[in-house]
Amino acid sequence: MEIIKFFRNGVHTTNQRLKMVVYLWLVNFLFSLLIVMPIYYLFDKTFSRSLASDYLVEGMGFLWLGDIIYKYQDFYPALIGWIIFPGILFLFLSLYLEGGVIGRIAAAEEKVDLGNFFGDCGKYFFRFFRVFLISCLGYLIVFGIIFMIISALFRLWTKNASTEWPLILSSNLKFLIMVLLFSLIRMFFDYVKVRLVAEKSKKTIKATLLNFSFIGKRFFRAWLLYLLVGLVTIILAVVYLALYQPLPKLGFLLVIAFIWQQAYIFSKMWTKVLFFSTEYRFFIHYRTSQG
């Protein structure tokens, strides 16, 4: 099957470009440290000499959050800002790194190193940022209009329900539709980024418009390939949770839990590269075949 061929080629490309996965994991790890350190400082200052620290490790809940907010009332707004600002910064960082990923996938004849990887990050950042702005309009249309209409139709269906089953079914179906719509938009703009790199173009609006024709002619094949990689992502997450949850978070086992957590994050970076690898192979194949 053609989709399996693209998937295998994507896996092969991702494994060949494994250095990029390491770079992505390392940047993610360093970024996480910057976020965690202030929170760790609060925990250490508040609970290091308290018996509550033992319960925190065992999973006491969120009662400690109330203690911190009460004790550091003046610091709380700054803490919220420290959570929101890194979220925005991480969004820009992701756009920046995607340029390096797709750029190095496209440069198949060159070896991956820090210089050319981060060179591509900077080269494509502003193009990808413009794609992000256009995608915001796409998300607004789909979730602000289309999904709202779908939700209204579901409300009409469940309005006079005599049992709870229509409500449960409606809720699950709406969630599934929301995930599928999100995957469609994400896939569409992934291909816009791939086109910009493959064609060495800076015309983001033109690339977006051309992408309607490209995706439209082979919609189900492109979406099936995207969902196949998404399925791999879900399987890895299920395996991670199945093995992580039973692990005691005490002593040496806490180190093992941390290592397993980082292994999962590494796998997420691997699937991130896999998404773009399969999409790039798909795009190049059909662009070449259509002349």
Indicate the domain borders of the chain. Answer: 2-289
Tell me if 98 sits within 8 A of 279, measured CB to CB. no
Mind listing the pLDDT tens digit for each residue in 201-243?
999 999 999 999 999 999 999 999 999 999 999 999 999 999 8
pLDDT at 1: 75
From the number of C-beta atoms within 10 Å of its C-beta (0-12, 13-18, 19+), residue 286 rates as middle
pLDDT at 38: 62
Is the pLDDT at 282 greater than 80? The verdict is: yes
Count the neighbouring beta carbons within 10 Å of the beta carbon of residue 244: 15
Cα dist. 181→82, 177, 185, 209 in Å? 31, 6, 6, 19
Name the token pair of 135.
Answer: 């995608």
- CA dihedral of 175, 179, 185, 190, whole degrees rounded to 10: 170
Tell me if 13 sits within 8 A of 93, measured CB to CB. no
Question: Distance between CA atoms of 155 and 75, rounded to whole angstroms?
Answer: 43
Is the pLDDT at 187 greater than 90? The verdict is: yes
pLDDT at 21: 96
Mind listing the pLDDT tens digit for each residue in 236-268?
999 999 988 887 766 677 888 889 999 999 999
- Residues in the chain, how many? 291
Q: Across the chain, what does the average pLDDT equal? A: 85
Phi, psi (5° rounding) for residue 19?
-55, -35
Name the token pair of 286.
Answer: 């059909």
Tell me if 20 sits within 8 A of 107, measured CB to CB. no
Question: Which residue has tokens 């969902």?
Answer: 227
Percent of the chain with pLDDT over 90: 58
- Can you give the pTM of this predicted structure? 0.84
Of 196 and 256, the structure prediction assigns the larger pLDDT to 196
Mean of pLDDT values over 102-112: 92
The one-letter code for the residue type at 140 is: L
Is the pLDDT at 145 greater than 60? The verdict is: yes
pLDDT at 289: 66
pLDDT at 180: 93
pLDDT at 196: 96
Mean of pLDDT values over 85-113: 91
3-state secondary structure the chain: CHHHHHHHHHHHHHHHCHHHHHHHHHHHHHHHHHHHHHHHHHHHHHHCCCCHHHHHHHCCCCHHHHHHHHHCCCCHHHHHHHHHHHHHHHHHHHHHHHHHHHHHHHCCCCCCCHHHHHHHHHHHHHHHHHHHHHHHHHHHHHHHHHHHHHHHHHHHHHCCCCCCHHHHHHHHHHHHHHHHHHHHHHHHHHHHHHHHHHCCCCCHHHHHHHHHHHHHHCHHHHHHHHHHHHHHHHHHHHHHHHHHCCCCCCHHHHHHHHHHHHHHHHHHHHHHHHHHHHHHHHHHHHHHHCC
Of 165 and 48, the structure prediction assigns the larger pLDDT to 165
